[in-house]
Amino acid sequence: MSDLFVSLTPANLLACLVGTVLGTIVGVLPGLGPAGAMALVLPVTIKLGPTAGLIMLAGIYYGAMYGGSTTSILVNVPGEAASVVTAIDGYRLARRGRAGAALAIAAIASFVAGTVSVVALQVAAPRVARLALAFGPAEYFAFALLGLVLLSNLSGESRPKSLAMVLVGVMLSTVGMDPLGGAVRFTFDVAGAQAGLSFVAVTAGLFGVAEVLAAAARPEPAPAVQGVRFRELYPSREELRRAVPPMLRGTVLGFLIGLVPGPAATIASFVSYGVERRVSRYRHELGTGAIEGVAGPEAANNAAAGGGMIPLLSLGLPFTPSTAVLLSGMLLMNVTPGPFLLRDHPQVFWGVIGSFYVGNVMLLLLNLPLVGLFARVATIPGPWLMPGILILCALAAYADNNNVFDVWVMVGAGVAGYAMRRLGLSPAPLVLGLVLGPLLERSLLQALTIGRGDVRELWASGPAAVMLAAAALALVAPLVGALGRRVRAPA
Amino acid sequence: MATPDRGIALGLGAVALAYLAVARRYPLDTLSAPGPGAFPLATGAALFLVAAWLFVTARPAPGAAAPTPMAVGTWSRVPVLLALALGLHAAALPWLGFIPASFLLVLAAARLMGLSGLWRPLALAAGLALVMRLVFVSGLGVPLP
């Protein structure tokens, strides 16, 4: 536990500051998103060592949640999907001259939710890790499968499309050596592919390059930003009083939703807004510029970011693209997340958790006085910004393995990602399929080997049986529902 | 009536079949000691089934409203040219080096994305190349070609 203070060393404080500032900027800019930005800075973070490197990556992750609200409120342009809901009431508050109060409430809600979720993370993660020590291959297979099926149900797009993207990601993960026997597969004699497709290259392509190509296809004028003076950043006593209940409800909801696979921060903010529409005393004002519409969703999306760290740190299972990049960063730094992380790398484990506390304070201190500056980042015209993102993508892809093949993978992933956008396919399930594919394959084959070929080994234990049953239910229920609707449809 | 989702389903089905065709090269062995082809076989088959699911459920019900068109935006040649520039950048990396190739990529990308004149794209490309050189090569020691 004393390792929590590792986050207070000058190097780690600096890493945290850089991460949170970068995260805020990424949150402000529409498009790139935290996962893409984290992939781009991976070469830098690897040079910093595991603790400082992961602190910087984590700072980008939760900093983006903070930053996303700024442009939502000031210009009605959400930098992040998780901040879309904030724009509904936040922008109306800004138009009524309460931009400063809305920004302050957003920052305070983010701070409160972020801090509470870190306390919960600090309490829960070691306990979940201890429970996970009893997990064998069958349980890991069942959990990873359940996560991927739930993800396809919750990602907000067509279920078969989302599931197909998960499977394409799993297919891409089979390129290179098979995880048990070492046989080389699907490389077509390309030497650079033997180690598998670089996760960083694929992520940089799908999120970074695809965003640049999309921006090139639809050039838009930079939005005008409303100026906010520091002295305007004081919510009234009434606004503060009204913000507390939705803030607390959003925190609890967000943390719990963060534990579930899927775009947790986005879902949490929408669910929080929906709950406020039902239970808030001022629900009739929602949609017209109510402070509850800012406090609840902002608390929820920040708490979800903390909740999402539990499966990653305790089980080694990432359920969002951002935590998938964190996992990739950990593996590149020879740190294996999961039940043994606390035993093998206590400084990394507690250092990252400690940095969440520090980062939340930094974000509060940075975001309020510098809100105008961050908002102006959103006004940088695309032609000045996007070429830099392109070369950062190429650099991240190359530096992963010092291999030009990975740059080609990035180009391919970028073109595929752009095509997917045009076809309405989300890259997030693909990325999670890619990162969870090897675990899925390894644990399935190990379980079958342990069971001497008896498939019942997969559901022999209680937890595995429950998780597989839940996965089957989550998979079959929508399919049956869709077929039922089709049969009932009038001829 | 064909829908975009049916086209996607056909494409995904084709990808699954191509993947399965390659996966057949790898031995399946036994259930107690599965070979390197076992998992890809299951994955490819699963994708094929999901593609079939998408195809079936995408069929518009008779009398139902026409499906919403895809939000594809207007056609633009700029992304195609930008992707070509990226491909040329990757091809040029081994013999031109990362920094000069990136200078040319930024120059081309800035022009394609509408940065007018010659001096502004040149200044952007030179500035970014310099920052890359200072931060990543000199500062962090990232080995670049």
Mean pLDDT value across residues A193-222: 84
Report the residue of chain A nearest B99, measured CA to CA.
A391
pLDDT band at A413 (very low <50, low <70, confident <90, very high): very high
Contact B128 A407 (CB under 8 A): no
Q: Which residue has the tokens 């593609």?
A: B51
pLDDT band at A31 (very low <50, low <70, confident <90, very high): low
Mutate to test the interface with A, among B19, B86, B107, B112 (most CBs of A within 10 A): B86
Q: Which amino acid is it at A446? A: Q
Task: Provide the 10 A C-beta neighbour count for residue B141.
Answer: 8
Q: What is the pLDDT of residue B66?
A: 45
Q: What is the pLDDT of residue A154?
A: 61
Mean pLDDT value across residues A181-185: 87
Distance CA A440, CA A403 (A): 27
Distance CA A328, CA A322 (A): 10
Distance CA A145, CA A470 (A): 10
Distance CA A485, CA A480 (A): 9
pLDDT > 90? residue B5:
no
Mean pLDDT value across residues A120-132: 84
Mean pLDDT value across residues A270-288: 87
Segment among A9-23, A96-110, A152-166 with least mean pLDDT: A152-166
pLDDT > 60? residue B63:
no
Q: What is the pLDDT of residue B120?
A: 92
Q: Between A296 and A135, where is the model more confident?
A: A296
Q: Between A478 and A276, where is the model more confident?
A: A276
Task: Let me know if B10 is exposed, middle or buried by CB neighbors in 10 A (0-12, 13-18, 19+).
Answer: middle
Of B32, B90, B128, nearest to A404 by CB-CB distance is B90
pLDDT band at A267 (very low <50, low <70, confident <90, very high): confident
Q: Between A30 and A301, where is the model more confident?
A: A301
User: What global pTM score does this model have?
Assistant: 0.81
pLDDT > 90? residue A68:
no
Partners of B29 in beta bridges: B34
Rounded to whole angstroms, what are the CA distances from A322 to A126, A150, A314, B44?
Answer: 21, 17, 16, 27
Alpha-carbon distance B1 to nearest alpha carbon in chain A (angstroms): 15
Coil, helix or strand at residue A176: strand
Contact A382 B12 (CB under 8 A): no
pLDDT band at A232 (very low <50, low <70, confident <90, very high): low
Residues above pLDDT 90, as percent of chain A = 21
pLDDT tens, position by position, A13-28: 999 999 999 888 887 7
Cβ atoms of A158 and B5 within 8 Å: the answer is yes
Chain A stretch 224-263, residues whose beta carbon is closer than 8 A to a beta carbon of chain B: none
pLDDT band at B68 (very low <50, low <70, confident <90, very high): very low
pLDDT tens, position by position, A81-95: 777 788 888 888 888
Chain B stretch 31-70, residues whose beta carbon is closer than 8 A to a beta carbon of chain A: 31-36, 38-40, 43-44, 46-47, 50-51, 53-54, 56-57, 61-64, 70
Alpha-carbon distance A307 to nearest alpha carbon in chain B (angstroms): 30
Distance CA A92, CA A123 (A): 38
Considering A147-156, A194-203, B74-83, B132-141, the range whose residues carry the highest mean pLDDT is A194-203
Mutate to test the interface with B, among A148, A174, A400 (most CBs of B within 10 A): A174
What are phi and psi for residue B29, nearest 5 degrees? 55, -140
* Residues of chain B neighbouring A479 (CB-CB closer than 8 A): 53
Using a CB–CB cutoff of 8 Å, tell me whether A168 touches chain B: yes
Contact A423 B4 (CB under 8 A): yes
Q: What is the pLDDT of residue B56?
A: 87
pLDDT > 80? residue A479:
no
Distance CA B117, CA A162 (A): 43
Cβ atoms of A292 and A186 within 8 Å: the answer is no
Alpha-carbon distance A53 to nearest alpha carbon in chain B (angstroms): 13
Distance CA A359, CA A357 (A): 5
Token pair of A6, please?
């590792």
Contact A43 B136 (CB under 8 A): yes
Q: What is the pLDDT of residue A431?
A: 86
Q: What is the pLDDT of residue A220?
A: 66
Segment among A113-127, A354-368, A468-482, B63-77 with least mean pLDDT: B63-77
> Which helix H or strand E contains B52, and what residues bound it?
helix B38-58
Q: What is the pLDDT of residue B71?
A: 45
Helix A264-279 with A84-95: angle, nearest 10 deg = 50
Helix A159-173 with A427-450: angle, nearest 10 deg = 60
Report the residue of chain B nearest A422, measured CA to CA.
B72
Q: What is the DSSP letter of A185?
A: E
Q: What is the pLDDT of residue A185?
A: 93
pLDDT > 50? residue B69:
no
> Which helix H or strand E contains B53, and what residues bound it?
helix B38-58
Q: What is the pLDDT of residue B118?
A: 86
Q: What is the pLDDT of residue A135?
A: 84
> Can you spell out the DSSP letters for B75-142?
--SHHHHHHHHHHHHHHHHHHH-HHHHHHHHHHHHHHHTT--SSHHHHHHHHHHHHHHIIIIIIIS--
Chain B stretch 83-122, residues whose beta carbon is closer than 8 A to a beta carbon of chain A: 83, 86-87, 89-90, 93-94, 98, 102, 105-106, 109-110, 112-115
pLDDT band at A159 (very low <50, low <70, confident <90, very high): confident
A to B CB pairs, distance under 8 Å: 194
Partners of B34 in beta bridges: B29
Contact A445 B76 (CB under 8 A): no
Using a CB–CB cutoff of 8 Å, tell me whether A186 touches chain B: yes
Report the residue of chain B nearest A214, measured CA to CA.
B79
pLDDT tens, position by position, A297-352: 999 988 988 888 888 888 888 878 888 888 888 888 888 888 888 788 888 888 88
Task: State the virtual CA torsion across A21, A33, A73, A374 in degrees, nearest 10.
Answer: 30
Q: What is the pLDDT of residue A225?
A: 57
Mean pLDDT value across residues A445-450: 91
Segment among A47-61, A145-159, A355-369 with least mean pLDDT: A145-159
> Can you spell out the DSSP letters for A208-268?
IIHHHHHHHHS--PPPP-----GGG----HHHHHHHHHHHHHHHHHHHHHHTSSS-HHHHH
Mutate to test the interface with B, among A167, A485, A488 (most CBs of B within 10 A): A167
pLDDT > 80? residue B7:
yes
* Residues of chain A neighbouring B114 (CB-CB closer than 8 A): 219, 382-383
